Amino acid sequence: MNEINLDLIDTTGEPPVTEPERQYYYMAKCREIISEKIREKQRPLYCQTRTFGCQMNAKDSEKLTGILKQIGYTEITQEDTIEPDFILYNTCTVRENANLKVYGHLGYLKKQKQRHPDMLIALCGCMMQEETVVEKIKKSYPFVDLIFGTYNIYQLAELIYERLTTKKNVIEILQASKDIVEELPIERKFSFKSGVNIMFGCDNYCSYCIVPYVRGRERSRKPEDIIKEIKKLVADGVVEIMLLGQNVNSYGKNLEQPVSFARLLEMVEEIDGLERIRFMTSHPKDLSEELIAVMKKSKKICRHLHLPLQSGSSHILKTMNRHYDKEKYIALAEKIRREIPDVSLTTDIIVGFPGETEEDFLDTLDVVKRIRYDSAYTFIYSKRTGTPAARMANQVPEEVVKDRFNRLLKEVQTISAEQTMKNVGKTFEVLVEDINEHDSSLVTGRMSNNSTVHFKGNQSLIGKIVNVRLDEAKGFYYMGTMEEE
């Protein structure tokens, strides 16, 4: 993907001012320095990228790793015993625990840096967009060499060059950007599937959520750039793509020539060789009848829709600034079930939002029982400094929140197990993704509805779509048998 011949780039003159040409220039400059260091050490220079958070971050990390490999680093994983020469943490800040996890790792990296003074440490991503975080890192973790944010992921090579040539720590946090830099190198984790960003940022400003403050306002990519990228991926062996955005349903509204998300899906479906289309995340307030109709008739869009509820209480939903109420959400979910009977509905639910009463919580349980989600991601409310909800006075006591969380989890797991049982004995197409991590005689694959199934197989099946009979339901996953063609 996005092959760049850095040997053809003239590094003797001034850097270009346009992107991505400017970054190619700095990649070439960095490679000259890294090549010299490799000759000096008489060994490769190793890099390791650690990703925290969502699939948007995972996609960003593929770009960051692609840049690092272009400039001469050799990638290693966490399982490798080799100490990296460059380590990068792509951070998440959706919940406080994500921040604490990064700080914990930085404590460990301090010891690594003492053993290996030449090692470079870089932090980027959502956490770095918070001023208080950056100040804490500068004060408590001064050994961090590079700090940059969500808006300038693409500048990694330029920032590395500055660090290598000035020998000084580099902090570059852009507070806003309308630019979307295309044609960067990408190091894909999987050969057969890939995420594709269709937009960045979020305009919803849910009262509990830090994302709009760290990812910025919505910016949609041009449909022609998206289609071009997917065609390249398919030519390179990809059979399944995941369209990514904080709220894919609002895609295209800010383009010079607006294009709806449903129309984009139709354009993607026309690409020859592409077998499966996934997307996330959908906001209920923007999910259109046009999208439901497109999904209903589609042969490639997977039978899975993630539709975050967050709360079943209309009162709490209003305080959350979600722009729908309990009745509207239920009506939407029921319409989706009617129109696409084989769809798998999954959701996100927050327990313990400020002001949540027992009655509010029972409303949430009621929605769960009525919609019968195939699975649900349940979270205890996490106060994020800078959001309106963090300033609300009526925070729910911890012991009350934990009790409600456990009750919700029990209900979700019971329903999910019952939903899973419905498919036992049936045969489905499964995309084989990997060797099973617990039993090497098994492979693990994913059905169109996003359910996981384990069955006898070997390495040669990875990346292929095969027919599998579901023999046994195990709560959230299945054991199955591949059927011969």
Query: Phi and psi dihedrals of 472, rounded to 5?
Result: -150, 135
Global confidence as pTM: 0.89
By DSSP bridging, strand 452-456 and strand 442-447 are antiparallel
Collect all residues with Cβ–Cβ distance below 8 Å to 13 and sequence separation of at least 6.
none
- In this predicted structure, which of 62-71, 97-106, 333-342, 432-441 has the lowest mean pLDDT? 97-106
pLDDT of residue 286: 93
Please state the rounded mean pLDDT for residues 124-152.
94
Reported confidence tier of residue 30, pLDDT bands at 50, 70, 90: very high
Please state the rounded mean pLDDT for residues 424-450.
96
pLDDT of residue 56: 87
Per-residue pLDDT of 189-242, as tens digits, reads: 899 999 999 999 899 999 999 888 888 889 999 999 999 999 999 999 999 999
**Which is nearest to 191 in space by CA: 397, 462, 447, 374?**
462
Give yes or no for residue 261 having a pLDDT over 80.
yes
DSSP 3-state of 47: strand
DSSP 19: T
Please state the rounded mean pLDDT for residues 151-179.
91
Please state the rounded mean pLDDT for residues 130-134.
91
Q: What value, to the nearest 5°, has the Cα angle with vertex 256 and ends 294 and 276?
A: 30
Mean model confidence pLDDT for the chain: 94
Q: Which helix (H) or strand (E) holds 58?
A: helix 55-70
**Which is nearest to 217 in space by CA: 249, 246, 187?**
246
pLDDT of residue 2: 53
Reported confidence tier of residue 472, pLDDT bands at 50, 70, 90: very high
Question: From CA 392, how far away is CA 354, in angstroms rounded?
Answer: 7
Are 470 and 417 in contact by the 8 Å Cβ rule? The answer is: no
Are 483 and 467 in contact by the 8 Å Cβ rule? The answer is: yes
Give yes or no for residue 183 having a pLDDT over 90.
no
> Which residue intervals of 75-121 are DSSP H helices?
96-115
Which amino acid type is present at position 283?
A: H
Please state the rounded mean pLDDT for residues 424-431.
97
Are 245 and 212 in contact by the 8 Å Cβ rule? The answer is: no
Give yes or no for residue 475 having a pLDDT over 90.
no
pLDDT of residue 145: 97
Q: Return the percentage of the chain with pLDDT > 90, whole number.
A: 84
DSSP 3-state of 210: coil
Query: Phi and psi dihedrals of 185, rounded to 5?
Result: -65, 150
Give yes or no for residue 485 having a pLDDT over 90.
no
CB atoms within 10 A of CB 176: 8
pLDDT of residue 285: 95
DSSP 301: B
pLDDT of residue 1: 44
